[in-house]
Structure 1
Amino acid sequence: MTDGIRMRADARRNRDQLIAAARTLFAEIGPDVPMEEIARRAGCGIGTLYRRFPDRASLIRAVGLDNLQRILVAARAAAAEETDPWQALRRVVRLSLDLRLSMRLSVSADEAPESFHRDPAAAAARREILDLLDELVGAAQRQGSLRTDVGAGDVLGMVIMTIRPLPGFDEDHRDLLTERCLGLVLDALGTGGGEALPGRPLGLADVFPFAAG
């Protein structure tokens, strides 16, 4: 391995370690955790951190994008590995637990940049996740496993309301309650009965205008 290749490999490893440390600390403490603590957890010097990420906003962008891409990879795997679209949809819905970090970064950090929402890579990842969700909803309905009076917008809206962090909630029971609520949402989405819903099924563009683009 040449010196140049080794240096690039070291730089990539440092960047990955910093993102992993920041992701963990953002989830544990919040996006205002001291940058020095992130560097310490990553096993890097503070100078290395600032060479890779010149400010907190750039680190938040990197962690948010990394989180979206991880969810996308797992969602692709669920769609490819499951022959039953309803089971694939259930797996994708449960991946929404990982969305909590992105939501926390977007709503609670002073430095959470609006540019993250317009970032082309982040937008492409969100678009593919939404398209995959839409396809699975349609396939599960055609199969007869998912009730027909809901749309992908209903599914995503219910999931986001379920995983949205509640201020002052007991942290020790938050994850368990969220998982239990997601289980109830999935049961309600099945074709096992229940009251008819008011109005028409909501599509992604009805609930999230950016999904129309």
Structure 2
Amino acid sequence: MSDRVQYTPIEGADDLFTPDFLQYLAAMHDKFTSRIHILREKRQEVLRQAHEEGQMPAHPPVSEINTGDWQVEAVPEELKRPGIEISGPASITPMFINALNPGADGNRAEGDLDDDEDSAAHRLIDTLQATRNRLGAVERTLTYTDVERGRKYCIAEGEIPFFMHRERGLHLDEPEVTVDGMPIPANILGTALTGRVPIFP
């Protein structure tokens, strides 16, 4: 905890929510939360106009964004490699380990998409577990024992897939983490936690 950031005391949270991380999270909140709220309000107005007035969304007005001579940086070479890309929740440990390991045919996925938007549970405990699992995978310390089935899961030798992340929707907050008493947007928290893990292990 800090003077500004409060969170539900979930087991293991303190290991991730270090003083430096909480300071970083507060800075992310200061920079982006108000902008996210403005975008939410604009979206609500567009939806209202569509539903109540039959006015469909239009293309954005002409501006530097759609007329300027700009380009994004080159795509990393790792993302150009052809191969299997797999997606799923990183919070379900045995499923995540299986996703990173070779399949029955011996082939391993090139990339793993940690899908917080569609396949993950939207709870703080799951968000933190996903972060711990990604860190454990990179450090080669991630294991899981299924006592009922008598089965142990661990990361197989060899290069593991690179990580990609799909964040929760712009409209969602994380009520179990607050900054100055205000729930933080879920995508700010997820992005900040994702930044703790190398993309290319």
More helix by share: 1
Structure 1 length-normalised TM: 0.24
Structure 2 length-normalised TM: 0.25
Q: Which has the higher contact order (CA 8 A, sep 6+)?
A: 2
More strand by share: 2
